Amino acid sequence: MYTAEISRDNPSCFLFLIDQSTSMEDEVSAGDGKQAKANGVADTMNRWLQELSIKCAKSDGIRDYYHVGVLGYGRRVGPCVNGTSPGKEMAPISEIAENPARLEERIKKVSDGVGGLLDQTIRFPVWLDPVADGGTPMCRAAGEAKRILTEWLAAHPDCFPPIVIHITDGESTDGDPRERIQELTNLASSDGNVMVFNIHMSDNPNATSVTFPDSVDELPDEYSKMLFETSSPLTPTMRALCSEHGFNPSETARSFVLNADMILLVQAIDIGTRPANLR
């Protein structure tokens, strides 16, 4: 299981579920400073999409090793990156790469080779803008994700299993999402079940983060236990990546982090999405 080759003939997919509720306006630790969670998530997603596009790029264009969907949930539930649309929530990475909402020009300092720095203009693609508006309809979002992945799996029955990255900062406002999220992990290709990676963000600088737990023992409340229980076990590849990032999860650890700041968010997304079987 989890050994299928990822190729253009047999692509895999990532589906992001992103909490866009009003509380995502609150600030979270980001290195030396702070930034609104919604801004941090949008920045992280734009960089991630950029990196995946570059990873899949060859001299003759982008190879569609992956399809990607990003579903936001807050006042509305729906796709929120350019290149996807309602009814076509998953798009090949080439279509996403070719259709950023805009290309911003940013100045980057680079070495001039003789001890000084030069300003270099680079093009930075933006697909996703920060949104923090409304409640937290987690049940509806998980239901939409199930519909999207069921369709995708029907078209790609032998794929490396889809990975769902769920980023949230608060409790569901439309009911208990436990069953809905578990239904996602019941979906499967011939190579294994869909994996759900839950990343909980906290704006409380005193909150203790919990990384890749293997039991509910150290979790503070029912809400975090729900996220733990709906998170998939880490694969051996993910556990190896955890070690690269300085974590040491047990063999039964789940793909779940609680009270993440921006740094942990980026690490967790890397662990959940770094390709292992790309051909």
The footprint of other proteins (CB under 8 A) covers 5, 7-9, 50, 53-55, 57-60, 62, 97-98, 100, 103, 122-123, 125, 278-279
The amino acid occupying position 184 is L
Q: How far is CA 228 from CA 14, 175, 211, 214, 262, in A?
A: 20, 17, 11, 9, 20
Between residues 72 and 125, which has the closer beta carbon with respect to other proteins? Answer: 125
For residue 249, the minimal CB distance to other proteins (Å) is 22
Q: Nearer to other proteins by C-beta: 97 or 131?
A: 97
Q: Minimum Å distance from CB 56 to other proteins?
A: 8
The runs of H, that is alpha helices, within 116-192 are 138-155, 178-186
Q: Supply 198's token pair.
A: 């839950």
Q: Which residues contact 83 (CB under 8 A, 6 or more apart)?
A: 91, 95, 96, 97, 98, 99, 100, 127
For residue 157, the minimal CB distance to other proteins (Å) is 17
Distance in angstroms (rounded) separating the CA atoms of residues 48 and 14: 11
CB of 125 to other proteins, least distance (A): 6
149 contacts 15 by C-beta, under 8 angstroms: yes
Token couple for 255:
């793909």
Q: How far apart are CA 271 and CA 256, in angstroms?
A: 11
Of the pair 125, 272, the CB lying nearest other proteins is at 125
182 vs 277 by CB, closer to other proteins: 277
CA 228 to centroid of chain Cα atoms: 16
H or E element, residue 93:
helix 93-98
Q: With respect to other proteins, which residue has the nearer C-beta, 3 or 208?
A: 3
Residue that is written with structure tokens 């090949």 in the block:
92
Q: How many residues does the chain have?
A: 279
Tell the smallest beta-carbon distance from residue 174 to other proteins (Å).
38
Of the two residues 72 and 92, which places its CB atom closer to other proteins in the complex?
92
Q: What's the closest the beta carbon of residue 161 comes to other proteins, in angstroms? A: 19
